Structure 1
Amino acid sequence: MSNLHQDSIVIDGLIIANLNRSVFEDMKKGGLAAANCTVSVWEDFPKTVDNIAQLKQLIRDNSDLVTLARNTADIVKAKADGKTGIVLGFQNAHAFEDNLGYIEAFHDMGVRVVQLCYNTQNLVGTGCYERDGGLSGYGREVIAEMNRVGIMVDLSHVGSKTSEEAILASTKPVAYTHCLPLGLKDHPRNKSDAELKFIADHGGFIGVTMFSPFLKRGNESTVHDYVEAIDYVINIVGEDCVGLGSDFTQGHGHEFFDMLTHDKGRWRRLTNFGEVINPEGIRTIGDFPNLTTTMQQSGWSDARITKVLGANWMKFFDQVWGT
């Protein structure tokens, strides 16, 4: 591991791995100071609470490696202690159901990031895989309440119209925690140059993913393709609002992808990724030091690398989590 990687606060804006001790060990090997870990996609309120309770137990059982992160001070401490701060995040506002009061309840439990929609329609708005009706009236109330309590608004899987309206409705900046540019590959999950510029112009943040189906060369991709994609985004929005959002699905099998690619986890098929092979050179979370090395080989300055690895996320977290 290079000194630069070791000295940097490294943050992954989205991990949806099958969390267990071996994944936590890999986070340590990869030098991660923090990761936004998904605890809800299509689960309702009670099941999501159950997921949170189970993850907190897992964190306690592995307290030599991980700790719960509720704010940036917790992340700084995790880094100093050689641990990874686990940030609780949702990939869908589905668990809020139709009850605004649940938002503060989840914040009290430690939830800090919520994506408004996952691929399809919910009570808040529309995902990226169907005709986009925009943000609902209830969706506006949800965003206002998330702004009030200090939960980040994530728009990665959200439709274009709903995203635009959410960016304008939110009083705090919002993020695409894990996305790739449409300019490199035409895919419904990728964001156009105009969309990337729009969120950045409104103080927002872009976490770039390495999920191979959305990368230019698909399963043939390497860590160099990932750096190319980050570079592409920086060329549009600058280097101060860009970070990492790997979308690592480590430890999950076919059944899991089956659930993710069907509406509500069980109805119509929305997309089919086939076999997903992470880019060569960053196959696992433990390979993160290779990313820093590749950035260095690509001629990036130390200052840019430090920002993209996590310093930018830290600044952004402070903005959106402060109440």
Structure 2
Amino acid sequence: MSDEGSSVSSIRFQYNGVIGNGCISWDAHSCVPLLASYRLETLHRHRDAGFDYVSINVGMDANPTSQIIEVIASFREQIEQIPNIRFADTLSDVRSAGAHGQLAVGFDLEGAVPLAGDPKNVELFHELGVRQMHFAYNRRNEVAGGCYEPDAPLTKLGLEVLLACEEVGVIVDCSHLNERSALAICDAAEKPTVFSHSNVRALNNNLRNVTDEMIAACAATDGVIGVTGLSNFTPGKRAEADAMVEVIDYLCERVDIRHVGVGLDYVYDVELDELPEDCDPAYWWPLEHGYGEDFYKCSKFTPPEAAVQLRECLKSRGYADVEVDGIMGQNFYRVAEACWQT
């Protein structure tokens, strides 16, 4: 084992959620290839880095529903079989995973296109394991406006989807939305909303990042902004823990620390091609917004192993232990308590 791996393992007892200090360590969003054949044993990296829970993407607006269902079926079956990983249908599953040194895994959808225009399908995806959902992914759809189409509104159908999410227990995620739609969702929401993996526009002027108005609106719902380590959206485009802490500092200067969390947006095995044949990458990830011709394969990602360094950076900046625990998971756990209903 490498020195880095030994270091992570040696402090797992101290840092890993319930095992160490009674707190949950929560990554609100990371990604694996959307392939039914992909093996989820790789998620042990999250566990070994000290996470108790990770939400992984099982589909987005660019993916056909048939692919998403195949991925969900495969991933659910695998999770039942892989040692030290369990599916998180409920918060009890999350707590139990942490208490037994396991990783709890949940699903999220990046966009509402898979609902096929019917809010009732929110309940269907909830039954399949989805516990968090975006309303649009970068572009507009019939529900809401993506971040790269700033004038597209939240629609009447979008309000119905919002109600459906709150009724069945799906966290409403405003990442990848434009300001207009995100503010409308936050204004209409009866439960906490989140930006699971979004940084701040004042530190990196990309439309995928959130404005001060979006930050305030999310906090007003008692929600959480999850800071991401993806280089395209960090200060100085650095995939480093200290860049994430810069974003955390900015947020904590404007809203209470209870509204700040972590959503790494780490992509496992990024070299694997998962996109449908008819998917145009330049449409979903526009070149003019800094993505490049092969964005994900040339971007830098802050890995789950950086959680240890992130904690240390926060402590070195003067954050108290209870504040670090909140940022590293307890704040998102609180939102899940309010939204999941189980």
Number of the residue aligned with 2:4: none
Q: Structure 2 unaligned segments of length 5 or more: list them.
A: 1-10
Deviation at 1:159, TM superposition (A): 0.8
Separation in 2 of the partners of 1:186 and 1:107?
34
Match of 1:17 among 24, 32, 49: 32
Deviation at 1:101, TM superposition (A): 2.2
Match of 1:230 among 248, 268, 274: 248
- The worse-fitting range, judged by mean Cα deviation, of 256-265 and 41-50 is 256-265
CA-to-aligned-CA distance 1:82-121 (integer Å, 9 cap, x gap): 1111111101111101122211111111211010100001
Separation in 2 of the partners of 1:58 and 1:133?
38
Separation in 1 of the partners of 2:263 and 2:280?
18
1:240 aligns with 2:255: no
Separation in 2 of the partners of 1:230 and 1:79?
25
Deviation at 1:287, TM superposition (A): 3.2
SS in 2 for 1:158: coil
SS in 1 for 2:269: coil
- The worse-fitting range, judged by mean Cα deviation, of 137-146 and 4-13 is 4-13
Number of the residue aligned with 2:113: 94
Number of the residue aligned with 2:222: 203
Deviation at 1:65, TM superposition (A): 2.2
CA-to-aligned-CA distance 1:269-297 (integer Å, 9 cap, x gap): 6742442123xxxx422332221122222
Separation in 1 of the partners of 2:280 and 2:128?
25
Cα gap change, 1:186/1:269 in structure 2, threshold over 3 Å: closer, same or farther?
A: closer
| Aligned partners of 1:263 and 1:270 also within 8 Å | no
CA-to-aligned-CA distance 1:186-218 (integer Å, 9 cap, x gap): 111111112211221232221111111111111
Q: How does 1:25-174 map to 2 (within 5 A)?
A: 25-41=44-60, 42-62=62-82, 64-174=83-193
SS in 2 for 1:236: coil
| Aligned partners of 2:229 and 2:244 also within 8 Å | yes
Cα gap change, 1:112/1:308 in structure 2, threshold over 3 Å: closer, same or farther?
A: same
1:300 aligns with 2:319: yes
**Paired-residue identity, %:** 23
Cα gap change, 1:264/1:290 in structure 2, threshold over 3 Å: closer, same or farther?
A: closer
Query: AA paired with 1:114?
Result: M
Separation in 2 of the partners of 1:309 and 1:2?
14
- The worse-fitting range, judged by mean Cα deviation, of 256-265 and 223-232 is 256-265
Q: CA RMSD in A?
A: 2.2
Work out the number of aligned pairs and report it: 315
Query: AA paired with 1:93?
Result: A
CA-to-aligned-CA distance 1:172-193 (integer Å, 9 cap, x gap): 2211111001111111111111
Q: Structure 1 unaligned segments of length 5 or more: list them.
A: none
SS in 2 for 1:178: coil
Deviation at 1:170, TM superposition (A): 2.1
SS in 2 for 1:240: helix
Deviation at 1:247, TM superposition (A): 0.5
SS in 1 for 2:315: helix
Separation in 1 of the partners of 2:280 and 2:96?
34
TM-score computed with the length of structure 2 as normaliser = 0.86
Number of the residue aligned with 1:253: 271
Query: AA paired with 1:5?
Result: Y
Cα gap change, 1:223/1:57 in structure 2, threshold over 3 Å: closer, same or farther?
A: same
